[in-house]
Structure 1
Amino acid sequence: MSFRGDESSGGEDGGRTSSDLRKPFLHTGSWYRMGGMGSRQSSLMEKLGSSASVIRDSSVSVVLCTLIVALGPIQFGFTGGYSSPTQDDIIRDLDLSLSEFSIFGSLSNVGAMVGAIASGQIAEYIGRKGSLMIASIPNIIGWLAISFAKDSSFLYMGRLLEGFGVGVISYTVPVYIAEIAPQNMRGALGSVNQLSVTIGIMLAYLLGLFVQWRYLAVLGILPCTILIPALFFIPESPRWLAKMGMTEDFETSLQVLRGFDTDITAEVNEIKRSVASSNRRTTIRFSELKQRRYKLPLMIGIGLLVLQQLSGINGILFYASSIFKAAGISSSNVATLGVGAIQVIATGITTWLLDRAGRRLLLIISSSGMTVSLLLVSVAFYLKDIISEDSKFHVALSVLPLVGLVTFVVAFSLGIGAIPWIIMSEILPPNIKGLAGSVATLANWLTSWIITMTATLLLNWSNGGTFGIYTVVSAFTLVFVIIWVPETKGRTLEEIQWSFR
């Protein structure tokens, strides 16, 4: 029995034989206008297209590409946040029961699991850009189905389609950003993925206060509607092109990303060595996964993405309004919006800190803060059940859960929210990245679905007990990070992967 890695990456000849099938997704843009290039590269650019403006500065080029693909995670976040402000109106207009609406809310996770299974292989076969184009189509159709829904069947179909697109996006975007970013910017640019998710959530919360649910679904179409044409103006991942054996295209893409005045010889040679090493064998036996160079990256990547969700973040955000009501806070919708805004700000700070403080330190700070804040919420709810409502301490205990949840969201956003996706895209070996990345993404979405489905049951059982369970998980996350997670700041992807050998 064997573990099929990226079969389509099996050497230069194999990549070239199927390249014609991938061409529509590779150079469908006109980001190639050249200036100051060699004659060979200039002729290649002319062949591929020459109607876009010149991008000479490497940081501008990479940031522009990142901002374009970040439209995908905004869609991701908007999908997650949509159900919270629309719950009462959808239930009333379509005469749904609470359980039927709960199914609607959870179906995005089910669709995302299916998308996660397919995401790695789609991204490996037709490229990162092609994968995002394919993911955008079911998202658009899904939002249209919801906006025109007359009964639960259209709601469910739309939610499943959205989830599928989100599942593909959640894998492809961090991988694309990691593969195009220079090592000194990879952390900051990688965290833009999670920042965009939080922006999408906040937009759904904010617009949901003013916009009727059908019109809100129409607004949900915008990110992917803009993303599809924008993808025509950015380069494909140079590392993917190299893995497919498209040498000229790979060097051209890298030159555009690094700037036309930059000498890319050293990086080209390093990527070629890494690709040559990973392409010697495209079939990995299960017994070989016990080797340190495969076992450790898989354990770290999957472990962090599972622990991210086991912290209870999706259950807490999904039921934030009811949690605040249980704590005695009357303006629960405003408090929920405030939590969404704080999450955006904290994730923005992480974007600035990642390439300065490093991944590992921020993960330790994040998981420590999550553990303390969740413990505070748990103790506050236990005491609230014990102390009489007439006591002057009862009012103070209503504030503590709000303080604890805000602190939890800030701590989560400082590390556990963004960094697991970055590390997954950095440490997985190239020859198993497609399938292993799919498994890691599937594990994340499966855990998210379990947490979302069980959160309401746990909260009905005991508010204090629920947050006590999440506290234990966060404490374990801290131990996991300290023992197993390496620092990847300031290292190339090739250096990171060689360190596991």
Structure 2
Amino acid sequence: MRLLLVNFLPGILSQSDGKLDEQNGSVDQEAGGSHSDMLDHKNGHSKILKRLETVPDIKRDTSGITTQYIATGIVNLGAFAAGVCVAWSSSALPLFTSGQVEFPSARSEGFSTNGTHPKLVLTESEASWVASLLCLGAFWGAVPAGLISEHFGRKKTLLYLALPLVVSWILVASSPNVYGIYVGRFVGGMAVGAFSVGIPPYIEDIAEKHILPALVNYYHVHFACGVLFGYIIGMVQSTSWLSVLCASIPVAFFIAFIFLPESPTYLMSQGKQSEAKAAFKYFRGIDNDVDAEIKVLKEQIRSYAKNRVTFKELFSSKATLKALFVSFGLMIFQQMSGIYPVLFYAENIFKTFAISLNPPGAAIIMGFCLVSSTYFSTMFLKKVRRRVLLLVSFAAMAVSLGSLAIYYHLKASNLSESNTWVPLFTLCIFVSVYAAGVGPIPWLMLREIFPPNVRRRATAITAGFHWFLAFGVTKLYQNLVDMVRPGWTLCHFAVTCVIGIMFVYFFVPETMGRSLEEIQNEFNGIHKRRKHTHVIEVETA
């Protein structure tokens, strides 16, 4: 009994402190080393000792699979918060532009009044800035996020992003003029862009290879769920309550994420091997041996440090240049298809077509289609080739946008009566096929066409380019509508999708079922000769 207490005491102390104590671990080894076989075969106490060496688990998970899924869901609350930021414009801007926003402050210049409370009224141009500045802030947040996480840690970087998001919602809710809203949206956008770059690496670090594709897609699913949530809370028709409900998401993210351990890869890169082992045990469960995985991780870190490249060296390799060309091209046609204007201005678009269903309700239906398609896109990505999905997705998006543009022109010419299901059905098809192909595949291919030593920097550049394009398209959308009306604007987006089909057909390689070496050889112009099988006929007597 005394021997068992000696064995258990160091582990219990380390659990109460929440950290691994290397000195206690050595005492465990010395005190229980001679009896390890007896403990393994008789009463299984070695498993309990292994468990006590880890930080507290989410649940008593022996395989680690459930823990990985729960942890991925928690960290992707950041993606959920990003989706809420996007959907806020659809719900709030109609209130601002119609002058229904009330502030308990005194009357001042730039406010209209109903005799009791002053109201903040935005012009169409100011409203477009309010919507698009989120994407401009995301551009400035995405590019440095990778470098910051490498120096300060994946967990710390993601955890502290909740602060600017909360600050942004406070500014949006309390600002008496449009400039405070500008600042709030820009600050929130910086957090949104950093989330888009910082969340996927954390998931890659904690996930096992056989479930990594499913866990990586969680980002897009949670982002879509955030958009749907933003449309649903838009039913309250109050920007103050909208901001409060939106601010609750980053607060929940901070509270939940603070209990998760740091990325094992980051801990190992900082020389904290005991803490990295504890983090691995946390995510792999008490029944799995993590020594082999730690050994592989050490080799990967050495290789990464040896072959690490700078941003300038990204453009020195022919294969990397072609990979950047492919990733940039996909982002161009993804954004020029008009997906963010549709998400940012959903209610205004439905009002333009004067549908009988109330615009918030129509936006919720569209958001539900986005969530459903994003969730089921994982099955398509496993079974259907990337190029096929991209081609079909772009084609279906072009048809849906073109159909909506034709309907608008017919309605404007009084050749067709107003119909609710045409704009609702076409936009639901648009966001659904986008979520199944054009949305996730460009991000997925970043992991498939870039070598590990350049992947993080290439992802940061591509993400920054993505958000810069989103800013430009979202800001210019209102200008296009004012200049050429919504019908021709939709035609422009449809033509862009058609050009995207040609880009995919001629320039985008197939990556499904192919190794990185094969893809890099194709970029370098190296084609392996096919093996020919010679058949010799043997005549039988």
Q: What TM-score do the two structures reach when normalised by structure 2?
A: 0.76
> For residue 97 of structure 1, what is the amino acid of its counterpart?
L
Is residue 76 of structure 1 aligned with residue 82 of structure 2?
yes
Is residue 192 of structure 1 aligned with residue 192 of structure 2?
no
Is residue 224 of structure 1 aligned with residue 250 of structure 2?
yes
Is residue 375 of structure 1 aligned with residue 402 of structure 2?
yes
Alignment partner, residue 501 of structure 2? 478
> For residue 282 of structure 1, what is the amino acid of its counterpart?
R
Q: Which moved more, 1:355-364 or 1:345-354?
A: 355-364
Q: CA deviation at 1:339?
A: 0.9
Contact 1:327/1:399 (8 A) holds in 2: no
CA 1:399–1:43: 2 relative to 1, 3 Å: closer
CA 1:28–1:431: 2 relative to 1, 3 Å: farther
Is residue 327 of structure 1 aligned with residue 353 of structure 2?
yes
SS of corresponding position for 2:236: coil
RMSD: 3.4
Alignment partner, residue 66 of structure 1? 72
Q: Which moved more, 1:256-265 or 1:119-128?
A: 256-265
Is residue 347 of structure 1 aligned with residue 345 of structure 2?
no
CA 1:62–1:499: 2 relative to 1, 3 Å: farther
Contact 1:29/1:231 (8 A) holds in 2: no
Q: CA deviation at 1:450?
A: 0.6
CA 1:50–1:411: 2 relative to 1, 3 Å: closer
Q: CA deviation at 1:259?
A: 3.1
SS of corresponding position for 2:161: helix
CA 1:137–1:402: 2 relative to 1, 3 Å: same
Unaligned runs of 5+ in 2: 1-14, 30-46, 103-118, 522-541
Alignment partner, residue 480 of structure 2? 458
Alignment partner, residue 422 of structure 1? 444
Superimposed CA distance per residue, residues 283-305 of structure 1 (whole angstroms, 9 cap, x where no aligned partner) = 44746634245324433333333
For the pair shown, the structure with the greater C-alpha radius of gyration is: 2
Alignment partner, residue 392 of structure 2? 365
Contact 1:32/1:50 (8 A) holds in 2: no
Q: Specify which of 319, 339, 364 is matched with residue 337 of structure 1.
A: 364
Is residue 97 of structure 1 aligned with residue 122 of structure 2?
yes
Contact 1:30/1:52 (8 A) holds in 2: no
SS of corresponding position for 2:61: coil
SS of corresponding position for 2:153: helix
Q: CA deviation at 1:366?
A: 2.2
Alignment partner, residue 275 of structure 1? 301
Q: Which moved more, 1:76-85 or 1:435-444?
A: 435-444
Contact 2:386/2:511 (8 A) holds in 1: yes
> For residue 183 of structure 1, what is the amino acid of its counterpart?
K
Distance across 2 between alignment mates of 1:489 and 1:268: 28
Q: What TM-score do the two structures reach when normalised by structure 1?
A: 0.81
Q: CA deviation at 1:72?
A: 0.3
Contact 2:145/2:198 (8 A) holds in 1: yes
> For residue 83 of structure 2, what is the amino acid of its counterpart?
G
Alignment partner, residue 21 of structure 1? none
Matches within 5 A, 1:399-410: 399-410=421-432
Contact 2:200/2:216 (8 A) holds in 1: yes
Contact 2:54/2:282 (8 A) holds in 1: no
Distance across 2 between alignment mates of 1:365 and 1:212: 40
Q: CA deviation at 1:53?
A: 4.3
Q: Which moved more, 1:172-181 or 1:160-169?
A: 172-181
Q: Specify which of 315, 324, 327 is matched with residue 301 of structure 1.
A: 327
CA 1:407–1:464: 2 relative to 1, 3 Å: same
> For residue 300 of structure 1, what is the amino acid of its counterpart?
V
Contact 1:183/1:489 (8 A) holds in 2: no
Q: CA deviation at 1:112?
A: 1.3
SS of corresponding position for 1:57: coil
Contact 1:124/1:434 (8 A) holds in 2: no
Q: CA deviation at 1:315?
A: 1.0
SS of corresponding position for 1:500: helix
Q: CA deviation at 1:327?
A: 3.1
Is residue 432 of structure 1 aligned with residue 459 of structure 2?
no
Distance across 1 between alignment mates of 2:201 and 2:332: 18
Distance across 2 between alignment mates of 1:76 and 1:29: 34
Contact 1:311/1:473 (8 A) holds in 2: yes
Q: Which moved more, 1:87-96 or 1:209-218?
A: 87-96
Unaligned runs of 5+ in 1: 1-26
SS of corresponding position for 1:453: helix
SS of corresponding position for 2:209: coil
Superimposed CA distance per residue, residues 306-346 of structure 1 (whole angstroms, 9 cap, x where no aligned partner) = 33212110112222333333334233332222111211111
Distance across 1 between alignment mates of 2:269 and 2:450: 15
Q: Which moved more, 1:78-87 or 1:363-372?
A: 363-372
Distance across 2 between alignment mates of 1:346 and 1:252: 37
Superimposed CA distance per residue, residues 359-381 of structure 1 (whole angstroms, 9 cap, x where no aligned partner) = 55433432232222223223333
Q: CA deviation at 1:179?
A: 3.4
Is residue 177 of structure 1 aligned with residue 183 of structure 2?
no
CA 1:416–1:114: 2 relative to 1, 3 Å: same
Q: Which moved more, 1:248-257 or 1:368-377?
A: 248-257
Contact 1:123/1:434 (8 A) holds in 2: no
Contact 1:309/1:448 (8 A) holds in 2: yes
Alignment partner, residue 4 of structure 1? none
> For residue 376 of structure 2, what is the amino acid of its counterpart?
I
Alignment partner, residue 11 of structure 1? none
Contact 1:293/1:497 (8 A) holds in 2: no
Q: Specify which of 158, 180, 192 is matched with residue 184 of structure 2.
A: 158
Q: Specify which of 63, 87, 97 is matched with residue 93 of structure 2.
A: 87
> For residue 233 of structure 2, what is the amino acid of its counterpart?
L
Of structures 1 and 2, the one with the larger relative CO (CA 8 A, separation 6+) is 1
SS of corresponding position for 1:415: helix
CA 1:152–1:44: 2 relative to 1, 3 Å: farther
Distance across 2 between alignment mates of 1:61 and 1:199: 21
Superimposed CA distance per residue, residues 123-154 of structure 1 (whole angstroms, 9 cap, x where no aligned partner) = 22122211111211100111122222222233
CA 1:326–1:96: 2 relative to 1, 3 Å: closer
CA 1:293–1:130: 2 relative to 1, 3 Å: farther
Contact 2:232/2:360 (8 A) holds in 1: no
Contact 2:120/2:176 (8 A) holds in 1: no
How many pairs does the alignment contain?
A: 464
Q: CA deviation at 1:484?
A: 4.7
CA 1:284–1:102: 2 relative to 1, 3 Å: closer
Distance across 1 between alignment mates of 2:249 and 2:317: 42
Distance across 2 between alignment mates of 1:301 and 1:30: 42
Is residue 55 of structure 1 aligned with residue 66 of structure 2?
no
Distance across 2 between alignment mates of 1:276 and 1:340: 44
Q: Which moved more, 1:129-138 or 1:414-423?
A: 414-423
CA 1:241–1:57: 2 relative to 1, 3 Å: same
Distance across 2 between alignment mates of 1:496 and 1:372: 34
Q: CA deviation at 1:270?
A: 4.3
CA 1:237–1:304: 2 relative to 1, 3 Å: farther
Contact 2:137/2:189 (8 A) holds in 1: yes
Q: Which moved more, 1:122-131 or 1:87-96?
A: 87-96
SS of corresponding position for 2:400: helix
